[in-house]
Structure 1
Amino acid sequence: MKLKSHDGGDSVNIEKKWRDRWSETGVFQADPDDKEKIFLTVAYPYPSGAMHIGHGRTYTVPDVYARFKRMQGYNVLFPMAWHVTGAPVIGIARRIERRDPWTLKIYREVHRVPEEELERFTDPEYIVEYFSREYRSVMEEMGYSIDWRREFKTTDPTYSKFIQWQIRKLRDMGLVRKGSHPVKYCPDCENPVGDHDLLEGEGVAINRLTLLKFKLDDSFLVAATFRPETIYGATNIWLNPHEEYVRVRTGGEEWIISRASVDNLSHQKPDMEIIGEADPRGLIGKYLENPVTGDRHPVLPASFVDPEYATGVVFSVPAHAPADYIALEDLRRNPELIEEYDLRDVIRDIEPVNVIKLEGYGDFPAAEVLDKFGVESQENPRLEDATGELYKLEHARGVMAGHIPVYDGMRVSEAREVIAEELMERGDADEMYEFAERPVICRCGGRCVVRLMEDQWFMKYSDENWKELAMRCLSGMKIIPEEVRANFEYYIDWLNDWACSRRIGLGTRLPWDERWIIEPLTDSTIYMAYYTIAHHLKNMEAAELDDEFFDSIFLGNGGPEELRREFRYWYPLDWRLSAKDLIGNHLTFHIFHHSAIFPESLWPGGVVVFGMGLLEGNKMSSSKGNVILLKDAIERHGADVVRLFLMSSAEPWQDFDWRETEVIGTRRRIEWFMEFCERVSDICGGELELEGISGCEPESFIGKWMVGQLNHRIREATRALESFQTRKAVQEALFLLKKDVEHYMRRVENRIDDEVRAVLGYVLSVWIRLMAPFTPYTAEEMWEKYGGRGLVAEARWPEFSEDSISPEIQAAEEMVQNTVRDIQEIMKIIDTTPERIHIYTSPEWKWEVFRIAREVGKPDMGAIMGRVSAEGVHDNMKEVSEFVRRIIRDAGRSGVREKIDEYGVLLDAAEYIESEVGAEVVVHREPDYDPENKARNAAPMKPAIYLETGN
């Protein structure tokens, strides 16, 4: 944002001025001292593309918290590094080298890489070097209070030594093993990939399916299923006649599967080869042999069969699969299709066969659940809901039907595994792995498959003792928001062994087998410990850093004293911040590895989880060009505007939506704030010393109200920031405080005196400091311009005084505002301007009745009247009775408050009320002038009003 320099002259770049000042003073460089520390980290970025506004939210949240805690007097460490290991950048470089149009378009148009730089992107290391430089530049422009001395890349030789130390420790504990396992795999990168490596498909699970072989002459149509137990109810096979099918050879057998499925399956069946075409239209109407029952089933056409999913062959169980039942019904209602494939006699004999008994359902639960959901065709979107409900019920409560040999009465959940194993042992079935959803796209742009990796190294997250340790670690952590704790518990329990090494990519070699590279999520689990000593290691040779060195610093008592002291000062990590889509891997691995390697006293303290980002209501996606680069947003609006919008649009764990019109509105609020600072300076005659203003004790009622509101806002903003509620903090520190200040300015605009100047000076001193974490550039400039000493980044965070926050004063000013509104409403009704307005306050006895009603604590007419009579509050019991009824009627709306001096408050506000309503105001303690007997309507906090019109 371009502002006018406080010392005059042309427009200058205030942001650069303060960045330079922060750099010169080293204000954000954190070293051990005698202060209480705060150590927080946010997921270091994988710099394969430019920063967008979603990244801006991710990195602004910890910066706001770091600035806030620093101002509270804590020694705050907020470091940053670059996660450049992995294979996606290799794939990107290859695609650029072969001039892939899509990749070139993305990097030219979305990431805005100059052509001369793009030419060098055939080198993967240059890609990460280029973007890590750009990331740092943009982070500095955003004003992040990072200790850049600790910056490193995960390919640095010293960091690699640290990672090798970590994985050796885990292997020595028996937590690393070698074996085979299905993994997400990018054929273009020739490497396994994790969620961190994906453009699409993050969090997608890998499912195991059973392949059932239906014999056709000397070959098999191979159908995949999650429910092998339903083979006893098969009635037909579905093929998509509009897709390509092929004959393949694998395991000495000839299979017929879709061409689109070969790519995925061939990574699990390395011997698979295509030996010919298979015409699906020619297969329609042919009969196949059921591998279990020996029954013969016809092949039928079905356009719903997805050739990319599993094998592109589906067996039909209409009794228990709603989609199969409705597909058969649709086929029977399609005479053209029946005629085309000559299926009239074929489909006439097909009847559902019961396999599973489910309490509350008959023999054909698929038909019943379709009726329940009102599904009458395959196009109905509720078909998926119907299917999901039935499958869950049958898995949880179903038992095998009595006519099925051996398995009669067995629970479906047990029979499923037993039948699958038996069929595979007999050679009638096989298995495969498939993604739960598609597509899964690597960052390089390649389409991922499931690959069965052999001789692969794995982290043993399946180890029950390790899971128990991780659960204990989690139980001692703060989780924000608390409701995602269940997600962590689920993933700790659910995680199986994780492929922790790859063949190609950037990164650290596996120390005992250098053919492998440690994969990116495994090398980014405890790097927070490395931050504590990273700046010292820059002066050391990697060869000096052996396991004994790291053992002594992180786990023992030896080693270089300075490094050991630094680590022990900062550890354990107080807060870890990252996106919610990383709970299932990165954040949970963080817990696993800390619990295994470090003693309990050094386990992490807490995690904050972020929501996702939207752009004008749509999901942001760099690969689809639906993003706004953070650099562009800064150039257009200024860093403070971007920061303030990102912090005020949603709480960190909620999804935020970047909307240009709202961003512009945020800019106007900052401009208003600067104009207010200037106005206060003018009112105070330019004589302000903000650093020295620590409090204010006004005599006037409205002055006390303003100071009370200010302390209330300080308290609420402070509490919100302590729990990372940035949106609530901005609401209190800017929007609601602005409303309070504007009201105060209207109340005192005709009586500027020394007290008003003192109050406004106090407000300004506090307000600039409250805004400093959110809008640091504006706050620094305002602080310097209006008499603050030093940097506002080092100024003391405002402390609130509970004694200054008076509910009675707040209620009294609310009464004043309600009185103004009531007068204005009456004036609208009578449609004339009165000569004089009379305001009548509540008599003493009504306050006493209010007190008694509050002490009784319930709307009990008899109890209240009994107390009033016994205490002799008022002689006219009929009048008392009417008032008690009013209290009971209005209690839910108005409540009962402590007594206040209504007369004094309204008398003090009389001049303000006159300015608001445009007439003379007379406040009455006693109704000495009341021609229409209005005073009898006065109640505590609800004065009576009479408009004298002169008619």
Structure 2
Amino acid sequence: MNEKYVAQDIEKKWQQYWEDNHTFKTEYDESKEKYYVLEMFPYPSGNLHMGHVRNYSIGDVVARFKKMKGFNVLHPMGWDSFGMPAENAAIKHGIAPKTWTLDNIENMKLQQKALGLSYDWDREVATCKEDYYKWTQWFFQQFYKKGLAYKKEAKVNWCETCHTVLANEQVIDGACWRCDNPVEKKDLSQWFLRITEYADRLLTDLDTLDHWPQRVKLMQKNWIGRSEGTEFSFEVPSINERVSVYTTRVDTIYGVSYVVLAPEHPYVERLIENAPNKAELEAFITRMRNMSDIDRTSTEAPKEGMFTGSYAVNPMSGEQVPVWIANYVLVDYGTGAVMGSPAHDERDWEFAHKYDLPIKQVVARESEEYSLEKWQEWYHEDGILVNSGEYNGQTSEEARKTITAALNERGIGEGKVNFRLRDWLISRQRYWGVPIPVVYCEKCGEQLVTEEELPVRLPEDVKFESGAVSPLATSESFLNTTCPKCGGPARRETDTMDTFIDSSWYFLRYTDAKNDQAPFDKKIANYWMNVDQYIGGIEHAILHLLYSRFFVKVIHDLGLIEANEPFRGLLTQGMVLKEGSKMSKSKGNVVSPEEIINTYGADTARLFILFAAPVDRDLDWSDQGVEGSYRFLGRVWRIVDAYNEEAKKNVTGELTKDEFALRRELHRVIKKVTEDLDNNFNFNTAISAIMELVNAMYAHKDKAETINSALANELTHSLLLLLAPFVPHMTEELWHELGETTSIHAEKWPVYEEAALVVDEVEVVLQVNGKVRDKLTVSVNITKEELETLAKESSRVQEFTEGKNIVKVIYVPGKLVNIVVK
């Protein structure tokens, strides 16, 4: 055994050993209790970063720990490998997206193996490979047949330079995030998934997710945005139409002083037809339509509007109120129109003050005075109706019911549940994605391709040069096909699917990754699902998790699995920062995992990133912290080496008092580490406890010339077993140095003994007038009277009590005796 710990001498050896011996291969076995741990799979950009290292290290500790606890552990890895970066590389460098992607996968896979991660690589999936996206297309077909996939005209963010639809998040200050050219709104025929059909279930079932962070559940709840309110309409005489609005505060209807329409509302063109400032209105409308929804609805964005010149009639008061167009109303949210009741809505208040519109109080609160000078929080709360005709004196809750009933009776309104959630737009005008398995026939119309034809493969004869239409449309071999119904000529759909589709079911494919007859076998998937512990960044708290939940519910309804939710437990790890900022190339503060591994070893990288902060908090990178972790592993190496010879003898014998104390510390640490890993993911405190054990082992070594060989054996073996999930390479090496022949990662987790934790003696502090004067080590069974006598007999205590009167003796069992004198 080398005297010095050198990570580079051992890590590659054990990585090869694990691979050759299939140490982490998992088999379907119903006789064993399963545990499915999963980290979010990465996009193969080419290199791992420290955020990846933290994510994977957390999952690896859980997987190794659960395996040692006797579970049948599934711990797979794969690649979220479709997406725009690969296509951009093709455009910029002339590299085929497939080549670019697969090369990056191989590089990142080598980096993951260098970290010593316990993945079952036989289950590896890549979403860009045909054996995966065939089943993505198959799922699309099932959604289509169930009425959950449909195509319709929709206004989208369109970048003419990149020739693709952009998500709202990809439009920054009206420009494309990628090329910085202006984005326009464009009507396109797009594919959608009807996620709104599942809105209620997605919301209600959040209550069943007991092992999810509350903030994630709240984020999803707000995104789904369920509200109960009233939908009713205002008559607009100038165009002889009724404009519908939705509100949760119909009790404020008598305070409506204007109606606002989205710039895209279908009535807008007719409303401004005869306006004297029509050209100005049209320019305003165009500008508003080309803003992203996020920019338009941001609380920081200024509210902008223009009067159309037309008026609407308040159905309750009969008053005429002006109809405006404004940026903060979206056509695809609610009805695309809202009522403005500025006295009781802060956004409406700001708009009314800006454009000098009337503000009329219609809800009052006792002992509260209403003023137009400053917005107060109580203005938007419930109260008693005033200035509201026959409804004066009713509470807001009562008025919402009675006014809704009155509108319903007149046939112009009804109570309604509304959701913020919109249907999921999945069309992308890009090449590197899953082709949508639909063809168009002049005779038969829109048709699904047959299941026998799947997968609809991505062609390789496409043109990527700037200015081309969707690359798939440039491939004649792809575009032209035959109708599956009549056999006549047809053309293929040239949109590909949003890559969120790929990541919405990959965890199911892992359960049966090599199945070529189905996406997975129902019996096998039912054994493994749900994922017991899912680990990933908070940035995926809404869309990815929501879409995955939606997919699982649909797949459940199709009768393919029993699970109704994908992830039983969720852990959102914090970011890795440097000097308080997120690591990024632009800031020049990136730390390369390869650099750390080459210098200190993978075990040091893992140990530091797990010890430096609680897993759900941000971690600030520290070079000194890395060095400290490396030094600690060196201490472990040396103490095991020092105890090794005696440990191999393993002869039972009487323990000395100090050895009893050392064994008690060992079992205390086993208990602490087990509880931290079992319940709370408190990896940092678990590692801290192991460090305390190592210190105790050194302290005993420095004090005693020898150590009981059975205790030395127990100490070294238990120490390595406790460290094994955190630092797998070094513990494997030392395990074999102890004379063991099997992998440490196939061993059972150590179990603490209650009897070993029993303390026979305690140290009691002796005080005089509250000041410590001496200490005694006594039996835990000593009586109060016996301890008081010993305290009074202490020579150090007698120095401060001699010649004085003892007023009283304060006794705290097992801790102190305080003699009060004067």
Under TM normalisation by the shorter chain, which class is it?
Answer: 0.5 to 0.7
Distance 1:124 1:140, change over 3 A: same
Deviations 1:665-716 (A, max 9, x none): 254144234224314533x4x51556x96x9775222211211121121122
2:55 corresponds, among 58, 70, 83, to 58
Distance 1:599 1:843 in 2: 60
2:366 paired with 1:360: yes
Q: What is the aligned partner in structure 1 of residue 570 from structure 2?
A: 608
Q: What is the aligned partner in structure 2 of residue 17 from structure 1?
A: 13
Distance 1:152 1:309, change over 3 A: same
Q: What is the aligned partner in structure 1 of residue 343 from structure 2?
A: 319
Q: CA deviation at 1:146?
A: 0.7
Distance 2:501 2:260 in 1: 43
Q: What is the aligned partner in structure 2 of residue 260 from structure 1?
A: 287
What secondary structure sits across from 2:344 in the alignment? coil
Q: What is the aligned partner in structure 2 of residue 382 from structure 1?
A: none
Distance 1:210 1:669 in 2: 62
Q: Which amino acid aligns with 1:260?
A: R
Q: CA deviation at 1:14?
A: 3.4
2:625 corresponds, among 658, 661, 665, to 665
Q: What is the aligned partner in structure 1 of residue 641 from structure 2?
A: 681
Query: Aligned ranges for residues 455-474 of structure 1 at < 5 Å?
Result: none
In 2, are the aligned partners of 1:521 and 1:585 still within 8 Å (CA)? no
Query: Aligned ranges for residues 828-867 of structure 1 at < 5 Å?
Result: 847-849=782-784
Q: What is the aligned partner in structure 1 of residue 164 from structure 2?
A: 190
Q: What is the aligned partner in structure 2 of residue 554 from structure 1?
A: 522
Q: CA deviation at 1:507?
A: 1.6
2:664 paired with 1:708: yes
In 1, are the aligned partners of 2:4 and 2:637 still within 8 Å (CA)? no
Distance 1:521 1:410, change over 3 A: same
Deviations 1:472-508 (A, max 9, x none): xxxxxxxxxxxxxxxxxxx9x9867544665655125
Q: CA deviation at 1:165?
A: 4.4
Distance 2:411 2:270 in 1: 15
1:528 corresponds, among 507, 527, 537, to 507
Distance 1:688 1:423, change over 3 A: farther
Q: What is the aligned partner in structure 2 of residue 83 from structure 1?
A: 80
Relative to its length, the structure with more strand (as a share) is: 2
Q: Which amino acid aligns with 1:711?
A: H
Query: Aligned ranges for residues 902-913 of structure 1 at < 5 Å?
Result: none
Deviations 1:331-382 (A, max 9, x none): 8xxxxxxxxxxxxxx97xx76323x324437784765753xxxxxxxxxxxx
Deviations 1:620-672 (A, max 9, x none): 476976765544554565422332233234444x2x323233x5325414423
Distance 1:327 1:215 in 2: 21
Q: CA deviation at 1:43?
A: 2.5
Distance 1:14 1:424, change over 3 A: farther
Distance 2:778 2:265 in 1: 95
Distance 1:80 1:328, change over 3 A: closer
In 2, are the aligned partners of 1:186 and 1:193 still within 8 Å (CA)? no
Distance 1:183 1:94 in 2: 24
Query: Aligned ranges for residues 143-182 of structure 1 at < 5 Å?
Result: 143-169=116-142, 174=146, 176-178=148-150
What secondary structure sits across from 2:448 in the alignment? coil
In 1, are the aligned partners of 2:90 and 2:97 still within 8 Å (CA)? no
**Number of aligned residue pairs:** 672
Q: What is the aligned partner in structure 1 of residue 489 from structure 2?
A: none
In 2, are the aligned partners of 1:40 and 1:62 still within 8 Å (CA)? yes
Distance 1:788 1:176, change over 3 A: same
Relative to its length, the structure with more helix (as a share) is: 1
In 1, are the aligned partners of 2:26 and 2:74 still within 8 Å (CA)? yes
Distance 1:147 1:233, change over 3 A: same
What secondary structure sits across from 1:615 in the alignment? strand
Q: What is the aligned partner in structure 2 of residue 803 from structure 1?
A: 755
- What residue ranges of structure 2 are gaps of 5+ in the alignment? 179-215, 273-277, 295-303, 439-446, 450-492
Q: What is the aligned partner in structure 2 of residue 920 from structure 1?
A: none
Distance 1:9 1:44, change over 3 A: closer
Distance 1:137 1:390, change over 3 A: farther
What secondary structure sits across from 1:705 in the alignment? helix
In 2, are the aligned partners of 1:644 and 1:775 still within 8 Å (CA)? yes
Deviations 1:813-855 (A, max 9, x none): x54xx68x99xx868xxxxxxxxxx8667799x9445xxxxxx
In 2, are the aligned partners of 1:214 and 1:288 still within 8 Å (CA)? no
Distance 1:399 1:945, change over 3 A: closer
Q: CA deviation at 1:40?
A: 2.8
Q: CA deviation at 1:400?
A: 8.1
Deviations 1:249-307 (A, max 9, x none): 9654536235531225999xxxxxxxxxxxx99x89x98756656768799xxxxx996
Distance 1:718 1:508, change over 3 A: farther
In 1, are the aligned partners of 2:531 and 2:566 still within 8 Å (CA)? yes
Q: What is the aligned partner in structure 2 of residue 867 from structure 1?
A: none
Distance 2:672 2:154 in 1: 50
Q: What is the aligned partner in structure 1 of residue 553 from structure 2?
A: 592
Distance 1:138 1:712, change over 3 A: same
Distance 2:123 2:627 in 1: 34
Q: Which amino acid aligns with 1:639?
A: A
Q: Which amino acid aligns with 2:148?
A: V
Distance 1:777 1:928, change over 3 A: closer
Q: CA deviation at 1:408?
A: 9.8
In 2, are the aligned partners of 1:571 and 1:602 still within 8 Å (CA)? no
Q: CA deviation at 1:68?
A: 1.5
In 2, are the aligned partners of 1:841 and 1:943 still within 8 Å (CA)? no
Distance 1:362 1:930 in 2: 68
Instruction: Please say which of residues 63-72 and 587-596 is displaced more in the overlay.
Output: 587-596
Query: Aligned ranges for residues 182-581 of structure 1 at < 5 Å?
Result: 187=159, 188=162, 190-191=164-165, 205=223, 233=255, 251-254=269-272, 256=281, 257=284, 259-263=286-290, 292=314, 318-322=342-346, 352-354=359-361, 356-360=362-366, 364=370, 369-370=375-376, 386=377, 390-391=379-380, 393-394=381-382, 401-403=387-389, 497-499=423-425, 504=430, 506-507=433-434, 509-510=436-437, 513=448, 515=493, 517-535=496-514, 537=515, 545=517, 553-554=521-522, 570=528, 573-580=531-538, 581=540
Q: Which amino acid aligns with 2:549?
A: T
RMSD: 5.9
Q: Which amino acid aligns with 1:513?
A: L
In 2, are the aligned partners of 1:71 and 1:794 still within 8 Å (CA)? yes
What secondary structure sits across from 1:606 in the alignment? coil
Please report the TM-score for the alignment, with normalisation by the length of structure 2: 0.64
In 2, are the aligned partners of 1:47 and 1:84 still within 8 Å (CA)? yes
Q: What is the aligned partner in structure 2 of residue 771 from structure 1?
A: 723
In 1, are the aligned partners of 2:55 and 2:573 still within 8 Å (CA)? no
Distance 1:398 1:43, change over 3 A: farther
Q: CA deviation at 1:616?
A: 4.2
What secondary structure sits across from 2:150 in the alignment? strand
In 1, are the aligned partners of 2:552 and 2:563 still within 8 Å (CA)? no
In 2, are the aligned partners of 1:526 and 1:593 still within 8 Å (CA)? no
Distance 1:616 1:290, change over 3 A: farther
Q: CA deviation at 1:93?
A: 5.4
Structure 1 vs Structure 2: percent identity of aligned residues? 18
Q: What is the aligned partner in structure 2 of residue 893 from structure 1?
A: none
Q: What is the aligned partner in structure 2 of residue 913 from structure 1?
A: none
In 2, are the aligned partners of 1:210 and 1:228 still within 8 Å (CA)? no
Please report the TM-score for the alignment, with normalisation by the length of structure 1: 0.56
Q: CA deviation at 1:147?
A: 1.2
